Each structure stands twice: as C-alpha cells, then as structure tokens.
Amino acid sequence: MDEPASPFKGKTGVRRLFNAAGFSWAGLRAALRHEDAFRQEALLFVLLLPLALYLGDTGMERALLIAPLFGVLIVELLNAALEALADRVSLEHHPLIKRAKDMGSAAVLLALANVLAVWGLVLFG
C-alpha cells in the first residue's frame, strides 16, 4: 500500500533545489537569531578561518584545519534542532529528553575537541 503523499513533498528538479536552499538559509538565520552557542561558534569560525588559510602550508593542511570548524557548526545545528524538537514535545523534565539533550551537548563537545586535536597535530605535530 502506498503511503499518503506529504504536502511538503512533490517539488522536483530546479524548483526543489531553490526550495531546499531557502529552507537552509532560513535554518542558518534561525540559529543565528535564537541560539547563543551557534553565534559563539560562528564567531570562532569567522576568526579561525583566515588563520587556517594563513597557517596551513599546503592545501591539505588548510583543508584539515577548516573541516573541523565546519564540523562544529554542523553538530551545533543538529544539537539545536534536537533541543527544539525536545522542547516542542514537552517542557517537563523527563529522563529521556534529558539524555537526548545531554548527548547532543556531548556531540558538540567532541566536535570542539576535534578542532583542538586536528589543529594541534597539524600545527605542532
């Protein structure tokens, strides 16, 4: 049996790409407007990106320095989305919601640790 079609699906081709790009920009704007941690990490990205381009001696080193910076932003966006969904489901304290939020926070922490590890190895290893 076919599943009912979602009213949000159905766009294809170039129209779908334009819609997807618009949704992505809306998500970035929402994160910048509503998420303090994302703003702080975006500032860190803006400060460290030129430094990565300057300090990396080769294209590979520059890529290694830049990739984990993007990783932090990506993980923070996913964490913020998870927290928003959890808050939408329930604002009451529940052990599973706490676990989900704590795991999202741990993912961000690991992404930040990855920045330190990669930068340390590339620059001092």
Rounded CA gap, 45 and 72, in Å?
9
CB atoms within 10 A of CB 117: 13
Rounded CA gap, 53 and 57, in Å?
8
> Catalytic residue among 3, 35, 76, 83, which?
76
User: How many Cα atoms sit within 13 Å of 13 on the Cβ side?
Assistant: 2
Is 76 one of the catalytic residues? yes
Where in the sequence numbering do the catalytic residues fall? 76
